[in-house]
Structures are given as C-alpha cells and as structure tokens.
Chain A
C-alpha cells in the first residue's frame, strides 16, 4: 500500500503535464459542481426563511365576541414562533381601506354595512422561525371555530417552493453530469498512464507481480488527481466567494445573506477523491493483463 502510494506520487511528478491537465479539467468540473452545491444550499436557506418575512392575517368571523378575541390574542402571544399580534377591528379595517383608497373612496359610498371582517395581524419571530412549525400553526388556526380565513402569502411561498424544487432537479442533474465527466477524465488519464507504462507492467507480470501490485499505483494516482482537482476547485470557490463578498457587501444586499458552508468545501475534494477512485477502477477493470 505504502509502496503503491509512493509509486503513484512519483508518477504524478514524472507525468506532471498530463496530470496537471487532468487536475485542471477535474478542478473546472468540480468548481461548477461546487457552485451548484453552493446555490442549492443558499436557495434552500432562502426558501426556509421566506415565510418569516410574511405577516399572517387571520380573518375572524363577524359574530366573534371581544372575550373570544382576547382569549385568542393571549394564547397566540404565548406561541414561541410569534413576535407580535395586533388586533384590527372591522371598523379600523374600514378606516384603513378608506385611507388606502384615498381619492377613490367614493367606491365605498352607499354601503349599508361594513363588509369587512375583524382580523389579527401576526408577525413571526425571526429567531425562532421554523417552516414546518409555521405551516402546522397556520393549519391549526384555520381549524379554529372563530376563524373565517387565514392569509399568509401562500401563493408567493408555494411559487418560491416550486422554483426551489425545480432548481433542485436541475442541480442534481448537473451534479450527476459533472460527476460522470470527472470520472471520465480520471478514467482517460489512468488509461493513458497505464498504456504509457505497458512495457514496464509486462516486466512486472513476468517477475510475479499480482494484479493488486500493478493496479495499486494507478488507483492511487487516479484518486490523488481527483483530490487535487477537488482541492483546487474548493480553493477557487472560496477565493471567488471571498472576493465577491468583500467587494459586494455594501452595494449588493444579496451578498450579505449568501453563505459558503464549510461542508461544501469538504464535499468537493472528497467527491473528487471518490470519483477519481471510481474512474481508476473502471479504467483498470477493462484492461487485460
């Protein structure tokens, strides 16, 4: 094992130009792979936190008594995920509507009675936000006897959710494609190196070398190429992100919310290693000796 690793390292240096080309090609593929992971991670985070930006409006039934409303407000105020609850009576709602209609307030003339419902405006607690808990909470609200309807921008939320799901499909497709590309590059490199050393391998065979002894260095070499490509990709990802964040911070608010998860920085070289290993195994598996 140690000997195989040593031979692989020597070969990496001996055939440095072929290997450098492969490492750069793999790094390019894994960089895109990393960008996809980065985008997926940040989009997921954004999707997770979207509903916290919305105010939940709970429309109450007209017959709801003051006592029932007060009880509901008290119980809602104790909820962990809620930061503020504001009661708006149907009269206040009408006033607000009139204010917002301003010059077109005449549309409300001739109304015999107030058609609006009393409501509660609920602001979510950003620090304790949990998407699942919020969804359950809304479902619970809808089930209350005094609640007419609940509005919380679900259309916008579901659009963003479906966008995220579509992007996830695209991202997974890209990840698979680039993984196959990296495997192919490692496969080709190992195959070229194998053929370049064919004469040497023939001699090893005649001297009694086992398949493991012959394959070992190539598997190590393919794996090393994968890791190096991955490290280069991770480095590039980190550098570009840092530079963009450094320059863009004051001007682009989006940059403030983006985050480069250290796990992605580890996933990329580890993926390179695994894909390099797979590429080498496939390359050697088809060769007879």
Chain B
C-alpha cells in the first residue's frame, strides 16, 4: 500500500528524513512517533505529496513519485484522507459543506453527497451539528468534522498528524475510538503522535523516528 525506498528529505541544509525505507500493508494501523522535529509531519507530507522527496522513491496506492506527473497529484490525494492537527476547516462554510466539499471535488452528485455526508456525520456523532459553523464548535467537535471530511471520500489511506494534540483526554479518547472503527472497516491508518499513551497497549505497529532516522519499527 505504502512503500518508502531510501527516502531523504532536506530543508535548507537540515535533513528532515535520512535514507528511510519501510512498507505498510493494506489495513494496517501504524503509529509514527518520536520527539518534536523527528520528521513525523515530514513523513506524512511526503505521503500526500505536500512535499516531494529529494532522494528515493515513494509509492502509494499504485502511484510512484518517480513517474508521477504534477497533474496526477490531485487524483493520488483522493486516495488519501488527511486529519490535520489545526483542523483546516473552511470557516465560512457549515459542517455539512465542509464535509461535502471533499465529494464535490470528486464530482459526486448532490444526492449521493447528502447520503454520504450524513453517514460520515453519524460515524463521528455530529449529525445534530450539520448546520453549525466551525467557529461554533468545540476543539473536539472540529477535529471530528475533520475526520468525517477525511473519510467521506472512502480513501484507502488515512493520515492523522497529531489529531489529538489540542484536545483534552476525554475528547482524545473519543477520537481514538473513531480511528479504531475506521481501521476496522479496512482503511489503512498512519497516526503521527508524540503521545505514548495513545498507542500504549494497542498492539499496533509503531515506527519511531529520531532526527530523521527510523530507530524503531515493530509492534508495540
């Protein structure tokens, strides 16, 4: 599903990732961990091609960075759902439209959009907030909207970059439960966090980064 082969990423003479290689199979739930600046966010950005590798090859869901044309990037991204720490919600659109936009981009008809958005809202338990603006929601609710938007397009891979970073323990637990449900449906998940409590005793695979190197890659 995801293959990194000798990937290096350098920002202004600072090596964010150094010659890393790993593979993630379909349906896996993988935690990417490590201290701040270890390269977790860079790794995720390379997967959804917000950044391109300086060296090495990344292949995701049949797309390979060495052959991928710029105009194909949007189609790759439609296979990937991303949950951002800072939510990245459209402030002038309500919850429904924030989620629906992911499907409108794909050219899905409004009737189907209505059904799928309501299903996604049901999963994140926010059906009653469909008409609210993001500014009227709590941090936990906003993060759940982001998750609904990320999964509504039925991506094969879901990336989460510190999704519980701004949330209290209860909200974080709620979000983790949603991620487990999504994974149970067969979606591959890469969850970046520096919080060990989130993956402790889960039995999931953990990739630990430090200064751009993989220092641990095994089950928790």
Using a CB–CB cutoff of 8 Å, the interface residues on chain A facing chain B are 3, 14, 200, 202-211, 213
Contacts and interface: CB of A to CB of B under 8 A. Distances in A.
A204 B48 contact: no
B101 A208 contact: no
Given A206-B82, A208-B75, A208-B78, A213 B105 contact: yes
B69 interface: no
B87 to A, nearest CB: 10
A206 B104 contact: no
14 contacts: A3-B104, A14-B92, A202-B88, A204-B105, A206-B48, A206-B77, A207-B77, A207-B105, A207-B149, A208-B74, A208-B77, A208-B102, A210-B71, A210-B105
Contacts of A203: 88-90
Interface in B53-89: 71, 74-78, 82, 88-89
Contacts of B177: none
Contacts of B92: 14
A228 to B, nearest CB: 23
A147 B98 CA distance: 88
Contacts of B153: 207-208
Which are the 3 A-B pairs with shortest beta-carbon distances?
A: A208-B77, A208-B78, A209-B105
B5 interface: no
A200 B75 CA distance: 19
Contacts of B90: 200, 203
Given A200-B90, A203-B88, A208 B71 contact: no
A208 B79 CA distance: 9
**Residue from A205, A208, A213 with most neighbouring chain B CB atoms (10 Å):** A208
B98 to A, nearest CB: 9
Contact of B74 (A14, A202, A210): A210
A30 B104 CA distance: 36
B133 to A, nearest CB: 14
A209 B149 CA distance: 14
B88 A206 contact: yes
B50 A207 contact: no
**Residue from A14, A204, A206, A213 with most neighbouring chain B CB atoms (10 Å):** A206
